[in-house]
Amino acid sequence: MQSKSFLLILVLTLHAQFVHAQWNRPLYNQLTKNLRSASQGQQKIRAMLAMGDYHVEQSYMVAFPQSLDTALSLAKQCEDLAKSTGSAQDLSDTYILYSKAYNYASRYPESINFARKAVDLSASVKNDTGVFNASRTLFRAFVYVYNTDSTRIITAENMSLAKKIGTKRVLGAAYEDLADNTKYRNLKNEISHLLDSAIMYYTATGKKDIQHLLTSQAWIYNQSGEHEKAFTTISKALNLAEELGDQTYYMIYLYDGYADISNKTERWETAEHYYQKALAVAAKYADRMVESDIALKLQRLMVKTGKIKESEDVIALIEKNYSQCNPTLLLQSLAAVLSHHISTGSYSRAEKTYQQLLPQMHQLNGRIERMARKDVYAALTQYHIYHKNVTLGQHYLDLYLETGEIMLYDKPLAHYMQFSIDSLNGNYIGAIRNYQLAGRYEDSIFNLHKNRQLTELEVQYDVDKRKKDNALLKQETELQSARAAKANYQKNLSLSGIILLSMIVGLIVRQYRLNQKRRKEIASKNRELEKLLTDKENLLQEKEGLLEEKDWLLKEIHHRVKNNLQVVMSLLNTQSYFLNDETAKEAIRNSQHRIHSMSLIHKKLYQSENISSVNMAVYFEELLDYYKIAFDTVNRIRFVLQAEPVELDPSQAVPVGLILNEAVNNALKHAFPDQRTGQITVSFKTAGQSRLFLSIRDNGIGMPGEISLSGFSSLGMKLIRGFSGELNGELKIHSAKGTEVSITFDNNNMAESMEEHYPGTQTITA
């Protein structure tokens, strides 16, 4: 009766497993096959224990909530069968499965209890390997309750037991656990030595799945400043994990580690990609705290690489997981969100986040990492600068600088914040100095990144060259071997046929001389050819060097022009503080806007790979972002951009930008009186093969009466007419449900291209 009941439970369990989705179908299929074919007794217990381990691992994923129940059900069946057979070792291994399952369920007292029972049972039958495996499980249980005294004792005893057992697999496992336990004491050199030993013993047994050990080793290298060595090691771990099809929870740490090291070595696109992969695995396992930590690192990276707008989804994820964070992570998360909302102009959301941060401020006096303090102080400095609270802004900026965590990439932000505070205080000399320092640090970071990319290209070139040299050396060796074989064959043939050779020696000598003459002629021609090839290569290298030098000089010119224009803007800003005449101040502000539109052109040119033209869609987007901040439109005026990615040369881009500046300035001043809301739409598109159409349209109050281009006397409209003439364009102004300024003009880049393809074609400008 008991046997039939057992078989019924087993059949129902197997059926439930078959209809349930599996995270690793090939492994599940193999375990199911083993379970079906296993005979009664110990073989059946082994098969069920393997299936139980599989379901314990699967239970950690949010998509498989019933897997832990399946694992415990299998453990109960194994326990009943082991007790009926009287096998103490099988019962010990069953208790190990219980311990693992309860550990995954966060029921740590039960996990510890079953692991201790497993140790005692293996010891009772004097099975040292069984004791070792059960002690490892006990170690994992104590790790989660942070009982460092117990973990230290267990790992030390297990190392002694492993040396007694003497097998490489057991020694590798002992060194692995000892390295894990040493992590909590942060002894980097000792951990590295232990990991080396674990990898050595595992490799000797043929064990391949050591990617987690390689990841830990890469972490040690990264912490010690050996970033390239860390990148090589973590790449090896990633390749190994992908080769083995690893889909376990541990992939979170592998992807996160790969992203961290890529970030350190300025491989930013790679870092962003692998932070996203780590987030996907964390979501699959529903580990919200780890998810928040990774999202925070991803958001910092996106800020550093200028992708502030693109980080909105990451910010939403950080906000969603506030309740899952420890005190340090919560402070960092709130600081990141507060800085993001201020940077993007979402001031109402920033105020809400600030109110959430205030109750957590007392945590800063506790055991909070300096990095968290730095993030909080930076966010609070930005918040108080926005509210023009100079005293608190300077206070938190001083605390920010005192954290000792200010790196090169933090320098521009620090000087920009000091610039804002000095400007509010009226310290204009200090403000200009800090503004210039911020720009210099930005340029230094830009140049460092470019130099690193150039170095990587040079390294790749050297690697490719060495590969080619090795291939040539191999061919040379093979040729020499062939020649040696041929010479040996000729020698043997000579010795065996000496009589025959004596008769035809004259013919051989004559043929030999002819061959020598031909070889000399061939060698001479080869030398001439090699000289020609060398001269050609030198000329090409000289040409490439001159072209590269030309590009760098042009970028440096645009760079300096941009910096000089920024200094002019700062001087105008300083001058405006000494003026009381509002009309004069307004004129200075208008001049600043015009200078900024020109400065942005030069910035785009020296930061772009193509220094001969400007992508107008990107330029318009940044210029409109500047207007939102400069005119403080908040949510009253909405900007809509409809621009095609047209490339213009600087001679056309500058007047187009100034026309846009004047038209938007006029609309913001006159189209929406009495704080009305409205919309300004900027359109830029092609209008034929080589024609372009620019329109700035508002839905404001419009202009009364007939509109005549010659009837405008304002400086702004005169400038628009003048710049339209400079473009040889057709200017129109309409006023119907608002005002629209439009201009149609030729694209010089397209016109030149047509002239190259169709010589003699004339371009007629309306």
Q: Give the CATH number of the domain where residue 735 resides.
A: 3.30.565.10
Domain-terminating residue out of 463, 478, 494: 463
Give residue 456's domain range.
407-463
Q: Name the band, by pLDDT with cuts 50, 70 and 90, for residue 113.
A: very high
Q: Report the alpha-carbon distance of residue 444 to residue 430 in Å, rounded.
A: 21
Given a cut of 80, whether residue 764 has pLDDT beyond it is no
705 within domain boundaries: yes
Q: By mean pLDDT, which of 129-133, 398-402, 482-486, 710-714 is the weakest?
A: 710-714
**Residue with the larger pLDDT of the pair 508 and 112:** 112
Q: Name the band, by pLDDT with cuts 50, 70 and 90, for residue 584.
A: confident
Q: Report the alpha-carbon distance of residue 513 to residue 210 in Å, rounded.
A: 65
Segment of 459-463, 595-599, 737-741 carrying the highest mean pLDDT: 737-741
Given a cut of 80, whether residue 110 has pLDDT beyond it is yes
Given a cut of 80, whether residue 22 has pLDDT beyond it is no
* Closest by CA position to 420, among listed 385, 381, 377: 385
Given a cut of 70, whether residue 636 has pLDDT beyond it is yes
DSSP per-residue codes, 58-78: HTTSTT-TTHHHHHHHHHHHH
Residue partners of 388: CB distance under 8 A and separation at least 6 = 424
Task: List pLDDT tens digits, range 241-254.
Answer: 888 887 777 788 88
Given a cut of 50, whether residue 554 has pLDDT beyond it is yes
Q: Name the band, by pLDDT with cuts 50, 70 and 90, for residue 124.
A: very high
734 within domain boundaries: yes
Q: Name the band, by pLDDT with cuts 50, 70 and 90, for residue 369.
A: low
66 within domain boundaries: yes
What is the number of domains present in the chain?
A: 3
205 within domain boundaries: no
Note the Cα 693 to chain centre separation in Å: 38
Q: Name the band, by pLDDT with cuts 50, 70 and 90, for residue 555.
A: low
| pLDDT value of residue 744 | 93
Q: Report the alpha-carbon distance of residue 206 to residue 214 in Å, rounded.
A: 16
Global pTM reads 0.52
Q: By mean pLDDT, which of 107-121, 209-223, 496-510, 632-646 is the weakest?
A: 496-510
Segment of 38-52, 118-132, 323-337 carrying the highest mean pLDDT: 118-132
Q: By mean pLDDT, which of 201-205, 362-366, 382-386 is the weakest?
A: 362-366
Kindly state the tokens that stand for 119: 């140790």
Given a cut of 60, whether residue 689 has pLDDT beyond it is yes
Q: Report the alpha-carbon distance of residue 424 to residue 360 in Å, rounded.
A: 29
723 within domain boundaries: yes
Q: By mean pLDDT, which of 53-62, 184-193, 624-633, 683-692 is the weakest?
A: 184-193
Taking residues 269-273, report their average pLDDT. Answer: 89
Q: Report the alpha-carbon distance of residue 732 to residue 742 in Å, rounded.
A: 5
Q: Report the alpha-carbon distance of residue 107 to residue 428 in Å, rounded.
A: 63
Domain-terminating residue out of 98, 121, 145: 145
Task: List pLDDT tens digits, range 506-535.
Answer: 777 777 788 888 888 888 888 888 888 887
Given a cut of 80, whether residue 79 has pLDDT beyond it is yes
694 within domain boundaries: yes
231 within domain boundaries: no
| pLDDT value of residue 288 | 79
Beta bridge partners, 681, equal 640, 697
Domain-terminating residue out of 122, 145, 168: 145
Q: Report the alpha-carbon distance of residue 616 to residue 625 in Å, rounded.
A: 14
| pLDDT value of residue 461 | 43
CB-based burial label for 561 (10 Å; 0-12, 13-18, 19+): middle
| pLDDT value of residue 681 | 94
698 within domain boundaries: yes
Cβ atoms 421, 401 nearer than 8 A: no
Q: Name the band, by pLDDT with cuts 50, 70 and 90, for residue 460.
A: very low
| Percent of the chain clearing pLDDT 90 (strictly above) | 7
Q: Report the alpha-carbon distance of residue 456 to residue 228 in Å, rounded.
A: 12
Q: Name the band, by pLDDT with cuts 50, 70 and 90, for residue 2.
A: very low
DSSP per-residue codes, 682-693: EEEEE-SSSEEE
Task: List pLDDT tens digits, range 146-186.
Answer: 667 888 888 888 889 989 988 989 898 888 888 887 765 55
Q: By mean pLDDT, which of 374-383, 405-414, 462-471 is the weakest?
A: 462-471
Q: By mean pLDDT, which of 6-20, 170-184, 192-206 is the weakest?
A: 6-20
| Percent of the chain clearing pLDDT 70 (strictly above) | 77
Q: What is the CATH number of the domain that holds 3?
A: 1.25.40.10
Taking residues 91-114, report their average pLDDT. Answer: 88
Task: List pLDDT tens digits, range 293-305.
Answer: 888 888 888 888 8
The interaxial angle of helices 128-143 and 88-104, nearest 10 deg, is 10
For the chain, the average pLDDT equals 78
Given a cut of 70, whether residue 455 has pLDDT beyond it is no
Given a cut of 90, whether residue 502 has pLDDT beyond it is no
Kindly state the tokens that stand for 108: 């740590």
Given a cut of 70, whether residue 648 has pLDDT beyond it is yes
Taking residues 376-397, report their average pLDDT. Answer: 87
